[in-house]
């Protein structure tokens, strides 16, 4: 149904986890191929700094959360929109989803 590849690299001040996810399935008889690229940056103390998620197909979509500031930003097919300010609970929930 799909594959997930990832790499985790560290430097003296941060940890970078990058992935590549491919899902292939059928929807109403049509083949769907979803290709995404998540990226999580943590401090050396494992505190979330930022999370970005890019979809390259079937649509072009970008989501970015900077845990040091608000609001998060997302883009779909070239249109930008601001998301509501995330409180600390939602930020940690989002980070938990990335790691889960």
Q: Determine the pLDDT at residue 83.
A: 43
Q: Determine the pLDDT at residue 57.
A: 80
Q: Determine the pLDDT at residue 7.
A: 96
Q: What is the count of structural domains for the chain?
A: 1
Q: Determine the pLDDT at residue 90.
A: 36
Domain that includes residue 18, residue range = 2-99
Q: What is the pLDDT of residues 3-51, one digit of tens each?
A: 999 999 999 999 999 999 999 999 999 998 999 999 999 999 999 999 9
Which two tokens mark 76?
Answer: 């779909």
Higher pLDDT, 70 or 39: 39
**CA 7 to CA 97: how far, in whole Å?**
17
Using CB atoms within 10 Å of the CB of residue 77, give its burial: 0 to 12 exposed, 13 to 18 middle, 19+ buried.
exposed
């Amino acid at each position: 149904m799909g594959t997930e590849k990832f790499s985790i690299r560290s430097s003296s001040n941060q940890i970078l986890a990058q992935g590549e996810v491919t899902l292939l399935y059928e929807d109403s008889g049509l083949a769907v191929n979803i290709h995404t690229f998540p990226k999580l940056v943590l401090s050396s103390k494992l505190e979330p700094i930022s999370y970005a998620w890019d979809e390259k197909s079937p649509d072009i979509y970008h989501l970015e959360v900077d845990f040091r500031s608000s609001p998060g930003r997302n883009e779909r097919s070239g249109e930008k929109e601001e998301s509501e300010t995330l409180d600390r609970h939602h930020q940690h929930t989002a980070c938990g989803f990335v790691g889960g």
